[in-house]
Amino acid sequence: MRPDTRYQPRVTRQRREILVCLQGQIGRHKTADEVYDEVRKVIPNISLGTVYRNLEMLSTAGEIRRIELAGMQRRYDGNMAPHDHIRCERCGRIDDVQWRIAECACRAERDSIVTDYEITGRRIEFTGVCARCVRSGSE
């Protein structure tokens, strides 16, 4: 789903703290519950419902990225630069992946791959086993 960049939610204290939580820890892909736990340290009376509503508003506005990977709880990412994700098949850890598929093919080849579509985005999910799980030999 492409973010609606025309819609810009009013900046409230709750939204600002949620953005600080997600954008201040690039590379971390937090669940709504994890965001809630962190924001509660600053705003003790914030509700989980408020966090959920604000995460959805911010993702709709294109200020954060909603990550929905197969078999995983929805997560949120403050890094809006183009990138994909890799998920550890053992522990569920999610990390950023930087690669340039567009640079691998010339424009003519890319145009011949998909026809009759206006490309609005992409979502590629890599899976593997993270270094920590490999070292620990966890099953």
Q: What is the pLDDT of residue 134?
A: 93
- Contact between 72 and 94 under an 8 Å Cβ cutoff? The reply is yes
Average pLDDT over every residue of 7-29: 83
List, for residues 50-104, the tens digit of each pLDDT value.
Answer: 999 999 999 999 999 999 877 778 999 998 888 888 888 898 888 888 766 545 5
Q: What is the pLDDT of residue 17?
A: 95
Q: What is the pLDDT of residue 2?
A: 53
15 closest CA partner among 58, 77, 49, 44: 58
Instruction: Please indicate whether residue 83 or residue 111 has the higher confidence score (pLDDT).
Output: 83
Show the domains of the chain with their CATH numbers.
1-80 (1.10.10.10), 82-139 (3.30.1490.190)
Residue 125 pairs in a beta bridge with: 85
Give the chain's length: 139
Residue 75's H or E segment, with its range, is: strand 75-77
Statement: the pTM of the whole predicted model exceeds 0.85: no
